[in-house]
Chains A and B, each alone.
Chain A
Amino acid sequence: MAQMNQVYASTRRRRVKAVSFRVGTLIALALVVGPAIWLVLGVVVRAVPHWQWNVLTTLSQGTSGGLENAVLGTLVLMAGVAVLAGSIGVLTGIHLAENGSSSRGGAFARGAIDILAGFPSIVLGYVGYIALCVGLHWGFSLLAALVILSLMVVPYIAKSTESALRQVPTSYREGAEALGMPSGYALRRVVLRSALPGIVTGLLIALSVAGGETAPLLYTAGATNNLPTFTLLHQPIAYLTYYVWTDYNQPTDVAHYVSYDAALILVVLVLAMLVTARLIVARTQRHAETSR
């Protein structure tokens, strides 16, 4: 025993360490969960007492009024990102999963995606302002905002698509090939179909990121109190995060309420997207359980 004690700490000391480790992990968890609840409740408590449903049906007047234009604008931006970034991202993801990094294009695309995924969004916004809004004379516009937002979330969509495709069991591809399907047909009917939940989940999370962005939009989407017009160029478009950012430190209470209301709508929007993504994952995992 004496020899053991030289190598290992005494039992008592180890027990104290084990308990403090356990307590430490629980404190760490509390330090994450506590602020997360405080954050969501903080937004709810500030917004709900003054909440009026006509916020959703009235136009903004800047520091007062409703948020109809901003809600619709954010939805238009998200839809645009879903189309633009969704198609580019999913196609890139398919390319990466099917061809891998073996081709030169694949290696380049992977490098670019890795770098773009960590690129500061405000720098993307700055480039959008300088090159698209001013340089190409697009003005504050839907298209400029969409291009910059898409540049930001394409890496994530491509990565999640790639990993969803890679999780499709090899036996599916082999089975399709054994049945004599051409590889394009097999990709469409067999591989993509079983990877679809993963792709959609990635897309939803990317959209919730796009809907919550501020920095890349401030100098590309501009600001307006009008409804979105679907004109691609020369028309600024409203979005929710703008009103959170501009109205929280205005002098009037009414402006504060606009800010809090916008924050509440954003939280609800993000929650809805994440819950949907979660449900899709849970559903497919239940189906996949048997095959594991």
Chain B
Amino acid sequence: MASWIPVAGLAFVLIVLAVKAWPAVVVNGFGFIKGSQWLPGNTYGSVVHTHGVAHPSGSSYGAWPLIAGTLETSLIAVVIALPISLGTAFALTERMPGWLSRPLGFLVEILAGLPSVVIGLWGVLEVGPFLAHHVYPLVADHVPNVGPFRYFKGPVGYGEGLLTSGLILGLMIVPIIASTTRDLFLQVPALPKEGAEALGLTDAEVARRVTIPWVRSGIIGATVLGLGRALGETMAVAMISGSVLGKVSPTIYGTMTTIAATIVSQLDSAATDGTGFAIATLAEAGLILAAIALAVNLCARYIVSRSGRLAAPVGRG
């Protein structure tokens, strides 16, 4: 009856999370989602009670910057990763000799297997400084100062922040989307493609009118799985985001943080709150993250279930 163990494990996790988060839900209320302060209060001072829950005086928590950071970085990641993954999958499957596509495909697999803490190390030491010195200034100087482009204006910082995190997350989810898409492309039967080519369609037209429509639901499913990975990714973002609590970044270069990165970096100090309220608040943040990841994942499973694909674990860190 081993198959009941995952069921029991999941139930255990959800129950612990809900029970632990309950005091924070009672005190923080709906303001938790809108608010943007992250004040642990005076943990050595007097304890006050709100709705019967003890917490340090002056404590005030709002998770909006974390939620916004999580959604923003994941959005950047998917926007970057989807076209690159599709292009990679096409390049690896169409008109590329096996002696070249096999090692390149293996390189993509390696990228999928590298620990996120190593990718974070590379991101913060090499990619961030490189982009901040050579790429971001060019972008910031040359975009017009109108409308939504203002988001790309302003000081570019030192390479730790929203855009770098999003780009690195994008690179981390490319293997998930690309390897699934590559396998899907290989499953598309040759006859329709050859027929289309015999009618005089170019490679690009075959791709757009035959190959992609044939496996569309699989691509959508893989993309949403990648999105799930980006939402839950912890270590790389904790190292690259700049870990700034309490405000939403005004520009795309600014420092920020996500729910997952906050839990990993704040749990230590939260444990010093004698009332246990800071820990409960982190549980509430975790519950929100789990809810987002769950919604995204169920969507993906629903879409993928219709194309019957196996997927690697996505909730990693």
Contacts and interface: CB of A to CB of B under 8 A. Distances in A.
Nearest to B290: A123
A236 interface: no
A112 to B, nearest CB: 4
B40 interface: no
Nearest to B90: A25
Contacts of B4: 105, 108-109
A77 interface: no
Interface string A108-136: 11011111111111111111011100010
Interface in B223-271: 225, 228-229, 231-232, 234-235, 239, 260, 263-264, 267
B88 A32 contact: yes
Contacts of A121: 232, 234, 315-317
A274 B179 CA distance: 15
A270 B112 CA distance: 10
A21 B207 contact: yes
Contact of A92 (B6, B260, B311): B6
B290 A244 contact: no
A214 B114 CA distance: 12
Nearest to A131: B16
Contacts of A129: 267
Q: Chain B's interface: helix, strand, loop or mixed, by majority?
A: helix
B279 A32 contact: no
Contact of A31 (B84, B232, B289): B84
Interface in A13-57: 14-15, 17-18, 20-22, 24-29, 31-33, 35-40, 42-43, 46
A39 B114 contact: yes
A122 to B, nearest CB: 4
A25 B267 contact: no
Given A18-B202, A118-B296, A213-B316, A95 B10 contact: no
Nearest to A92: B3
Interface stretch (A63-71, A180-188, A215-223, A227-235): A215-223
Nearest to A217: B317
A127 B17 contact: yes
B110 A33 contact: no
Contacts of B267: 126, 129, 218-219
A74 B178 CA distance: 29
B211 to A, nearest CB: 12
Nearest to A103: B3
B13 A124 contact: yes
A137 interface: no
Contacts of A254: none
B106 interface: yes
Nearest to A96: B3
Contacts of A35: 111, 127, 171
Nearest to B83: A28
A286 to B, nearest CB: 14
A271 interface: yes
Contacts of A117: 297, 311, 313-315
B191 interface: no
Interface stretch (A138-146, A156-164, A168-176, A189-197): A156-164
A126 B86 CA distance: 35
Interface of A: 14-15, 17-18, 20-22, 24-29, 31-33, 35-40, 42-43, 46, 87-88, 91-92, 95-96, 105-106, 108-109, 111-127, 129-131, 135, 151-156, 158-160, 163, 205-206, 208-209, 211-216, 218-219, 241, 244-245, 248, 259-260, 263, 266-267, 270-271, 273-274, 278
5 contacts: A25-B94, A35-B127, A115-B297, A127-B16, A156-B313
Given A213-B317, A263-B118, 10 more contacts: A14-B202, A25-B90, A26-B87, A28-B83, A119-B294, A123-B232, A127-B12, A151-B9, A205-B113, A245-B117
